[in-house]
Amino acid sequence: MNKGTQNDCSLSDTDGGRGEARSRRGRRTQQERREQTRQALIAAALGLTAAGSSLDALSIRQVAHEAGVAPSAFYRYFQSLDDLGLAVVDETFRKLRGILGDMSLAAGASSSDIIREGIRTLRDVVSQERARIAFLARQRTASRSMLRQQIRSEIRLHSSQMAIFLARFEPQRSWRVRDVEMLAHLMIVVIISGIDSMLEVLALGHDDEVSASELDNVAAGVQRQLLYLLAGASSWRSS
C-alpha cells in the first residue's frame, strides 16, 4: 500500500515537472516573440531613417506598418518614437562601452597594444551594427534634442571611461586629472571621426572583400592617430 502511494506520488511529481517545463518553454517562446517584435519595430525605424526620412517626420503608423504589426502593438514596447530612439541609443552605446570595458580589464599589455586591439574590435562592431551606429551618427546633429542630448551624454561617459583607462599607464598616471581628461577627449574625437569614415565606406556598397579591406585601412588610420597622441603625451608636462 505504501509502495503504491509512493509510486502515485512519483508519477504525479513527474507529470508536474513536465508541466512546469512545458510552461517555462511556453514563457520563453512568448518572450522570444515579444523581443522579435520589438526588434522588428527598431529595425523598421532604422530602415526608414536610413532611407532618408528623419525621425521627426516618421509616424508610429509608418513604423508599425513597416514592421508588419498593428499600430496599437507599438505601445506594448515603446511609449513614443523618442522612446524607441532612446532604446537604440542605450543598447548601441552599451555595446560600445563593452569595448572600453574589455580594454580596461586587459592585463599585462601596453596601452598601445590594447588600443590596437580595441580599434580592431570597434571596426567589427561598426560593420555588424551598421544600421544602429549610422542612426547615432545622424541623430548626433539632428533636431530631435532629446536624442541628441542623450548621445552627447553617452560620448562624455565614453570620454570618462577612456580617461580612467589612460590613467593606468605612465606618464598619465602622474598627470593632473584635467590633463588626462583632455587626452581622453582628443582620443574620443579621433574615434568618432574614424567611425564616421567607416560608415562612409559601408555606404559605398562595395562587395564584402573590398569593404573589408577599406575598413581595415580606416581602422589602421585610427590606430596611427591614437598612437600619435600617445607618443606626444610622453613629452607633455602636466602642471
pLDDT 10s digits, 5-54: 555 545 445 555 565 655 555 566 888 889 999 999 999 999 999 888 78
Residues 187 and 176 in one domain: yes
User: Residue 28 is part of a domain; what is its CATH number?
Assistant: 1.10.10.60
Q: Which of the listed residues 43, 78, 113 is the one where a domain comes to its end? A: 78
Among 36, 30, 56, 35, smallest CA distance to 45 is for 56
Higher pLDDT, 91 or 16: 91
Q: 3-state SS of 179-193?
A: HHHHHHHHHHHHHHH
Residues 20 and 64 in one domain: yes
pLDDT digits (tens, 9 = 90+) for 144-162: 678 999 999 999 999 999 9
Residues 35 and 97 in one domain: no
Q: Are 148 and 141 in contact (CB under 8 A)?
A: yes
Q: Are 222 and 191 in contact (CB under 8 A)?
A: yes
Residues 44 and 112 in one domain: no
User: Residue 109 is part of a domain; what is its CATH number?
Assistant: 1.10.357.10
Q: Which of the listed residues 49, 78, 107 is the one where a domain comes to its end? A: 78
Residue 149 CA to residue 134 CA, distance in Å, equals 17
Residues 225 and 117 in one domain: yes
Residues 47 and 92 in one domain: no
The DSSP symbol for 56 reads G
Q: What is the mean pLDDT of residues 134-153?
A: 87
Domains of the chain: total: 2
Residues 125 and 9 in one domain: no
Q: What is the mean pLDDT of residues 79-98?
A: 93
Is 80 exceeded by the pLDDT of residue 4?
no
Residues 210 and 108 in one domain: yes
Q: Which of the listed residues 21, 51, 78 is the one where a domain comes to its end? A: 78
Residues 54 and 152 in one domain: no
> Given this model, what pLDDT does residue 203 score?
92
> Given this model, what pLDDT does residue 17 score?
58
Structural domain that includes position 182:
80-239
Q: What is the mean pLDDT of residues 44-71?
A: 91
Instruction: State the pTM of this model.
Output: 0.82
Among 122, 87, 88, 130, smallest CA distance to 102 is for 122
Residues 94 and 197 in one domain: yes
